[in-house]
């Protein structure tokens, strides 16, 4: 059963004199579980990122801990024992950086040159890394000044507990983003369907028909203008005839009146 805690509130040591029980094991286990869930959310949808660097596969990471994982976390987060070695062993295996020449006994300088070449290729091929390095180089003096001043005053820019607080403060947003990414991955089959993927080739095939339709549209517009002119001419003729008929009717009426007076 997990225990809800406020990460912004420091964990107070218990009254027990045993250092292994200074902190609440349930609270620490709850924090560990929340961090693992966030890691799974981020790594599970890494390939959907729009950033080229974030889409790069991460190295395979396995973490093995001894049975006293709460006490291990306490030793890592406790200021008084932060200098002690952690019992957690992290094994990183990146197949992209494995160099088989390590087993062939090649010269160390050649290996260093090869690694240097690989690093330069990574910086050249990735705009995100290249722009970051350029920005860091331009502001390196400022960064060093800030680091030195903060190291003198506080012993570091940010502590592990503060980093954990920053991560957990966005826990809900990260999980919500992961749910959105999961929904996008489920709808991706509709976007990548055969009918959608054939649209570019269909556009090329429809270009002649589109040109023919444009020509027909231009002809239709011209015919509509001529029809409007003909209708306007017809209306003018009908109006002129109506005026003429009304004039003749008036003359005939006056003539009939004059004939009627003559008979009387």
pLDDT one-digit tens code per residue, 154-181: 555 677 788 888 888 888 888 888 888 8
Handedness of CA 39, 45, 47, 50 (dihedral sign): negative
Predicted pLDDT of residue 154: 54
89 & 166 share domain: yes
170 & 263 share domain: no
3 & 87 share domain: yes
Q: Which of the listed residues 192, 214, 234 is the one where a domain comes to its end?
A: 192
Predicted pLDDT of residue 25: 76
Q: Which of the listed residues 192, 213, 235 is the one where a domain comes to its end?
A: 192
184 & 246 share domain: no
* Cα–Cα dist 188/203, whole Å: 22
Predicted pLDDT of residue 43: 66
Strands (E), 45-155: 60-64, 89-93
In this structure, the number of other CB atoms found within 10 A of the CB of residue 133 comes to 12
187 & 243 share domain: no
Predicted pLDDT of residue 87: 36
In a domain, 152, yes or no: no
Predicted pLDDT of residue 3: 39
187 & 213 share domain: no
In a domain, 7, yes or no: yes
Domain range enclosing 188: 1-44+60-93+159-192
89 & 207 share domain: no
Let me know: does 106 contact 91? Beta carbons within 8 Å.
Answer: no
Which residue in this structure is represented by tokens 């912004």? 8
89 & 208 share domain: no
Predicted pLDDT of residue 146: 65
Coil, strand or helix: which one is 6?
coil
164 & 233 share domain: no
In a domain, 2, yes or no: yes
In a domain, 86, yes or no: yes
- The list of the chain residues with pLDDT below 50 reads 1-20, 60-105
In a domain, 28, yes or no: yes
In a domain, 54, yes or no: no
Contacts of 209 (CB under 8 A, 6+ apart): none
Which residues, in sequence order, are bridge partners of residue 91?
A: 62
In a domain, 6, yes or no: yes
217 & 187 share domain: no
Let me know: does 84 contact 75? Beta carbons within 8 Å.
Answer: yes
Task: Provide the token pair at 195.
Answer: 């009918």
Name the domain count of the chain.
2
Which residues, in sequence order, are bridge partners of residue 63?
A: 90
In a domain, 180, yes or no: yes
Cα of 105 vs its chain's centroid, Å: 45
DSSP 14-30: PS-S-GGGSS-HHHHHH
89 & 35 share domain: yes
Predicted pLDDT of residue 150: 56
Predicted pLDDT of residue 175: 86
85 & 171 share domain: yes
């Amino acid at each position: 059963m997990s225990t809800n805690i406020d990460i912004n509130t420091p964990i107070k040591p218990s009254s027990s004199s045993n250092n292994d029980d200074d902190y609440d094991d349930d609270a620490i286990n709850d924090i560990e579980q929340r961090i693992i869930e966030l890691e799974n959310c981020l790594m599970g949808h890494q390939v959907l990122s729009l950033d080229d660097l974030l889409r790069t596969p991460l190295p395979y990471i396995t973490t093995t801990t001894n049975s006293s994982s709460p006490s291990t976390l306490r030793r890592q987060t406790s200021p008084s024992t932060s200098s002690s070695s952690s019992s957690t062993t992290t094994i990183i295996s990146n197949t992209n950086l494995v160099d088989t020449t390590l087993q062939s006994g090649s010269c160390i300088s050649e290996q260093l040159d090869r690694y240097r070449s690989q690093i330069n290729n990574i910086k050249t091929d990735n705009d995100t890394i290249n722009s970051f390095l350029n920005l860091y180089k331009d502001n390196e003096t400022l960064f060093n000044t800030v680091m030195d001043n903060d190291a003198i005053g506080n012993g570091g820019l940010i502590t592990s507990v503060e980093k954990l607080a920053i991560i957990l403060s966005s826990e809900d947003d990260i999980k919500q983003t992961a749910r959105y990414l999961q929904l996008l991955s489920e709808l991706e089959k509709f976007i990548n369907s055969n009918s959608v993927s054939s649209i570019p080739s269909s556009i090329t095939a429809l270009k002649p028909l589109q040109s023919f339709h444009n020509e027909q549209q231009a002809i239709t517009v011209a015919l509509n203008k001529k029809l409007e002119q003909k209708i306007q001419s017809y209306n003018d003729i009908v109006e002129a005839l109506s005026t003429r008929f009304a004039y003749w009717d008036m003359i005939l009426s006056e003539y009939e009146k004059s004939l009627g007076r003559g008979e009387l």
